[in-house]
Structures are given as structure tokens and as C-alpha cells.
Amino acid sequence: MRNTKALIMVFIALLFGLAAVVIAGKWLVGQVEHVDADVVLVASHDLDVGTRLSGAMLERVDWPSANRPNGAFSDAALLEGRVLKSNLVKNELVLELKLAPEGTSGGLSGVIGEGKRAITVRVNDVIGVAGFALPGNQVDILVNARDEDRKSFSRIVLEQILVLAVAQDVGRDDTQPKVVTAVTLEVSPQEAETLDLARSIGSLSLVLRNQMDDSNVDTEGRRVSDLLNESITEVVSLPDEPKVVYVEHEPKILSVLVIRGSYQSEVELMQGNNNK
């Protein structure tokens, strides 16, 4: 008798549980049906900057109407032939702010900023910062040349220059170094003139900078005389005997330490003074 009552209670509990599940399921379905949704277009796969869009590159997905971003598209025909000015990853929304103006041709020209120009600089693995100057990075331009007096100098001539492409690659998601022979930079017309003049008078180097650093430094450059006027120690062999002389160069005073066996002597000479 007791077992029968227990089984009845278990059966009733199961019925109530099943009823609760059914009621909760119907409630959830009703909530979903009451959510207003729009159809928006997303990238069907990863797309690089400069890509001309077509219907095969897009997918339609449901998006809550209340959270629809400004500039989203629902009609694929409106995106036909538009050019990306930034990379898209798979399932990322296609927004107006990520597109070049209508009528822009595909490729690199579609991603050049307004009022800017693209100029290509020949580089090697050293000048190109060992391949770490990648699209999207900021670099400074360093020139090494000779002045009107044929004296060597080195100076930063341009700062915060955007790398648009390395060789023919404009993708900005790759973090692996790429050793290439050419780097394309985005510059203003005035910066293009400066860069063209700099590479005509000397050799160029790219100086990779932190992308969060937007400071500019007005340097005076460095010359050979600046290096020689700093304290330098040389080791020189005497021509008439196998001894060593240590010579220390100062901006105005030459200090000569002469070592012969156990005897040492130090003589200070003014530059341009022939006294010994």
C-alpha cells in the first residue's frame, strides 16, 4: 500500500515537471517571436583592405532591430563594387565607415586617405626594419647623406608615416615579418617632395615606432664631428716598437698615455697644438 502511494506521488511530480517544461518552452518561443529583427549583411570570409565587394563575399543574418548599427546594409546590390578601406573578418558587419567612397576603384588607390598620396621606397632587410614594417604600422624616415661641404650627416626628415603596403601586400592582420624590396607609404604632397629629395641625395632607413606614440621630435641631426667630439678610446700600435698607446679624445684636449715596460707617462695636448 505504501509503495503504491509513493509511486503515485512520483508520477504526479513527473507530470508537474513535464508541464513546467512545456509552459517554459512556450514562453521562450513567444519571447523570441516578439523580438523585432532585421536582416543585415556580414562578410562570408576574411576580406583584405582594398577588396572590391561582390554578392559571393556577403551573407545575410538576422540582427535585433533595436541594436542595428548605423551604416549597416540589408541589400547586397548596394554593396556591389564597393571597396573596403579596412579589413573584415568572417561574420563581421559590413558598415559604411569601412568602405571607400562610391566610385572608388579597387586596390591600393581605394585606401589612400583624402589629401594623401602613395609613394614607394626601395628597401632591403636592414632599411625595412628586418621586415617588421608591416601595413598599418607607423614609421619615421631617416636619411644619411652629405651636406654642401661634403660632410656626412644623418637626420630624421619625416615622422609618423603610415605604411600602406609591403611589396604588393596590403593586408594589415599579419604580424609575421616580411622581408621585401619595396614599401609603399602614405604621405602628403609636401612629404612626398621631402621624401623624393631625401632619397635622391642619400640613403633612407625606416625607423619603426610605437603606434600609440604620436609625439614629434625636432632633431638637428648628427654629424661625424658630433661623434668624434665625444669621449672615444682608441688602441694604436707604435710603428717603431711593439708597444701600445691608449689615446683618449676629448672635445678640446688630447690625453696620451704612453706605456714602455713598467714606465708610464701621460701628456695632455690641446687640439692644434704640436707640443709633445
Condensed to tens digits (0 to 9), the pLDDT of residues 61-90 reads: 988 887 888 899 999 999 998 888 888 889
Mean pLDDT over 92-102 rounds to 88
What does pLDDT average to over the chain? Answer: 77
Nearest to 41 by CA among 98, 93, 99: 93
C-alpha 208: how far from its chain's center?
A: 8
Mean pLDDT over 101-119 rounds to 80
- pLDDT, position 43: 92
What 3-state DSSP class applies to 54? coil
DSSP label at 113? P
DSSP string, 225-256: HHHHTS-EEEEEE-SSSS-EEEEEE-SSEEEE
Mean pLDDT over 30-42 rounds to 73
Give the pLDDT band (50/70/90) at residue 59. very high
Q: Is the pLDDT of residue 96 over 60?
A: yes
Tell the residue number behind the cell numbers 515537471, with chain if given: 17
CATH class, 37-109 region = alpha beta
Q: Is the pLDDT of residue 16 over 70?
A: yes
The pTM of this model reads: 0.55
Give the pLDDT band (50/70/90) at residue 18. confident
The listed range with the strongest mean pLDDT (108-117, 140-149, 174-183, 228-237) is: 140-149
Q: CA-CA distance, 11 to 251, in Å (whole number)?
A: 102
pLDDT (tens digit per residue) in 178-206: 666 788 899 999 999 999 999 888 888 88
- pLDDT, position 262: 59
pLDDT (tens digit per residue) in 207-238: 888 878 778 777 777 777 776 665 444 444 54
Q: Is the pLDDT of residue 57 over 90?
A: yes
